[in-house]
A = this chain, B = another copy of it.
């Protein structure tokens, strides 16, 4: 969702030019996911963070994220982006409830929201998703790191995330009762 975070190499039903045009006209719908490991009682004990190299060469941490395409359900979009970012063996457990823990609004200018995205106005439905298999980041992600909820909530991690997503990650932890 950030300018470097989750390029859609396949821009779906829009050419690059059309997508660029649309980005100046409409809010785009995204999904984001915080992958977690849970114990036998459903308690979150680890949080997965993606490491990416940005176009400018810096390293940033990010969440699973991407656009919802025309004709695609939110569940399909979530599953597609989880597979794209975590590999086909991650075995994510999508929640029975389709209500996100948060609706994150990204604007290309500061001040309208906690979140910014210099490319576009995007509205993102954000979910905490337990994964039960083996994660093998693909595409442009360098690595998936698992960390404790406490570490994930730290200021250091927040500083590594683009567009204000540190606040979204903390809200994710709060929604599952593990924010310190």
| Chain A residues near B (Cβ < 8 Å) | 13-14, 18, 22, 24-29, 36, 38, 40-44, 68-76, 79, 93-103, 105, 107, 112-114, 121, 123, 125, 128, 130, 167, 170-171, 174-180
A69 to chain B: which residues have CB within 8 Å? Answer: 27
A68 touches B123 (CB 8 A): yes
Chain A interface mostly helix, strand, loop or mixed? loop
Integer count of this chain's copies in the complex: 4
B22 touches A25 (CB 8 A): yes
A74 touching B105 in the complex, CB below 8 Å, given contacts A95-B95, A97-B128, A171-B177: yes
Distance (whole angstroms) from the CB of A54 to the closest CB of chain B:
23
Besides A73-B113, A170-B170, A174-B179, 12 more A-B contacts (Cβ < 8 Å) are A18-B25, A24-B70, A27-B70, A36-B96, A41-B79, A44-B96, A97-B177, A98-B176, A114-B177, A167-B180, A170-B174, A171-B174
A177 touches B98 (CB 8 A): yes
Distance (whole angstroms) from the CB of A92 to the closest CB of chain B:
9
A179 touching B170 in the complex, CB below 8 Å, given contacts A28-B26, A128-B96: yes
